[in-house]
Amino acid sequence: MLRLITDFDGPIIDVSDRYYRVYQFCLEKTRSPNQSVQELSKEVFWQLKREQVPEKQIAMNSGLDAAQAQEFAQLRRQTVHTEPYFQYDSLMPGAIAALLKIQQAGVDLAVMTMRRVWELDYAFKKYDLGRFFPENRRYCLSNDYVKTRDIEDKPLLMARALAELPPACDTWMVGDTEADITAAKKHDIKVMAVESGIRDRTRLELYHPDLIVQDLSFAVDFILQSQQADTKRLAIG
């Protein structure tokens, strides 16, 4: 059995609009009355996020002073994962078609995400994603989980998944951050990084994934082509 374990935000869900709306809210809340600020365009803001520019620096780039930047960063942390803003998430172009394609090919699908249960449930209900990932193929954080850092928490989630999932002859992980790459490598799983999420190619290259592709569609095509090539080799052999 061939298995694909995919991250959620980045490969399947586009969070850029949510993050930008929260940025706008925090900038407006933190600036002083009559203070002139320079609101960044969504394109500029998202590129800074993908380059891992710290929140405080983004705030100062927008015209806030150091003290305000500290307040901005704190407010952002408190706000970005709250329910009112999840409505701004959207499906990545081509994600549903890619999931259908690999599901129809008989590949075992699992999702692994740093979202909490309620955050994942929200999106699953909105986009009918349960058809791809039954409950025993969903790996996320409990609602009361105390997060440390994704790069530390995600390998723990991967360990749990590998202990619970039935054996597979081959497994790929697809994700958009260093946490995904680290989780896969720690457990000797092949990993593809996608450029459709919150890290740019330069940041992804630092963690040496097996492959960097544009998005989930490219990842699925690569996996299926590799499977076909392996099948042909076995037939010839």
pLDDT at 196: 98
- Predicted TM-score (pTM) of this structure: 0.94
Q: What 3-state class would DSSP assign to 5? A: strand
Asked if residue 47 and residue 8 are part of one domain, the reply reads: no
CA distance 194 to 58: 24
CA distance 55 to 188: 33
Phi, psi of 196 (to 5 degrees): -85, -5
Provide the sign of the torsion angle of the four alpha carbons 131, 86, 196, 138, taken in this order: negative
Domain residue limits at 31: 16-86
pLDDT at 148: 87
pLDDT at 234: 67
Please say which residue of 53, 71, 86 terminates a domain: 86
Residue 163's H or E segment, with its range, is helix 150-164
Please say which residue of 86, 106, 139 terminates a domain: 86
Asked if residue 98 and residue 57 are part of one domain, the reply reads: no
CA distance 1 to 198: 30
- The pLDDT tens digits of the residues spanning 209-228 come to 999 999 999 999 999 998 88
Asked if residue 108 and residue 182 are part of one domain, the reply reads: yes
User: Which residue positions in the chain have pLDDT lower than 50?
Assistant: none
- The pLDDT tens digits of the residues spanning 62-111 come to 999 999 999 999 999 999 999 999 999 999 999 999 999 999 999 999 99
CA distance 44 to 112: 29
Asked if residue 160 and residue 76 are part of one domain, the reply reads: no
Q: DSSP code of 107?
A: -
Asked if residue 76 and residue 171 are part of one domain, the reply reads: no
> Rounded to whole angstroms, what are the CA distances from 18 to 134, 145, 231?
26, 22, 42
The total of structural domains in the chain comes to 2
Residue 171, amino acid: T
